[in-house]
Chain A
Amino acid sequence: DVVMTQSPLSLPVTLGQPASISCRSSQSLVYTDGDTYLNWFHQRPGQSPRRLIYKVSKRDSGVPDRFSGSGSGTDFTLRISRVEAEDVGVYYCMHSIRWPWTFGQGTKVEIK
């Protein structure tokens, strides 16, 4: 199975400042079609998860452009250019290159 490892697991942030979360996979997430199946999700307290980013860097509809994804192969990063209060919660990376699809442990983002 592909193991997804996130860091840090806890991220205190200052409003208006940038933040970044790292995700590393135990195997390359590049599929035979050339796409890289790495996704990022955000879960606010008491809510369902919401996908923010798919295929490393493509933002889902309605996702603010302060969120960006980057990386390749086995190393990926989610960046928030300027943190807003609504960005608190837990962020998960997840791969969907082969079964079983697996998530990282989650990174809890909170305001300092």
Chain B
Amino acid sequence: EVQLLESGGGLVQPGGSLRLSCVASGFTFSISGMSWVRQAPGKGLEWVSLFHDDGDIHYSDSVNGRFAISRDNSKNTFYLQMNSLRADDTAVYYCVKDRGDSWGQGTLVTVSS
């Protein structure tokens, strides 16, 4: 069974940083594409970043230059480093496998002073 377990969310001040982690199990992590998708309170879904299975990395315009994704295949872990956080980054962040076939439970990031 595929499992994705996010952690690292919390309250951070504007301009601050946070790193999210996603521990994966139940599939061959090293050959799988992984993404972060977020959902602001009461809003729709936004595909924030993609670590494609061919190694390409992509970011949405809204986070490009501030967020960075990485992975440690030895630990089956996927990361989202978030810098220069703004109030509009407040959202539940989901770790997602491939083209959305599996999702984690999400971790809430709140950016507020």
Decide: B45 and A51 in contact? CB cutoff 8 A: no
Whether A102 lies near B99 (C-beta < 8 A) is no
A99 to B46, CA, bound (A): 12
Q: A94-B45, A106-B45 are in contact. List 6 more A-B contacts (CB 8 A).
A: A41-B100, A48-B104, A48-B105, A51-B99, A101-B47, A103-B47
Find B45's partner among A49, A50, A60 (CB 8 Å cutoff): A49
23 contacts between A and B (CB under 8 A): A39-B99, A39-B100, A41-B45, A41-B100, A43-B45, A48-B103, A48-B105, A48-B106, A49-B37, A50-B103, A51-B99, A54-B100, A54-B101, A60-B101, A90-B44, A96-B99, A96-B100, A103-B44, A103-B45, A103-B47, A104-B44, A105-B44, A106-B45
Residue pair B58, A49 in contact (C-beta under 8 Å):
no
User: What residues of A have a CB within 8 angstroms of the CB of B99 in the complex?
Assistant: 37, 39, 51, 54, 96, 101
Interface of B toward A, CB cutoff 8 Å: 37, 44-47, 50, 58, 60-61, 94, 99-101, 103-106
Q: Which residue of A lies closest to B102 (CB)?
A: A51
- Cβ of A92 under 8 Å from chain B: yes
Residue with the greatest number of chain A CB neighbours at <10 A, chosen from B45, B94, B104, B106: B45
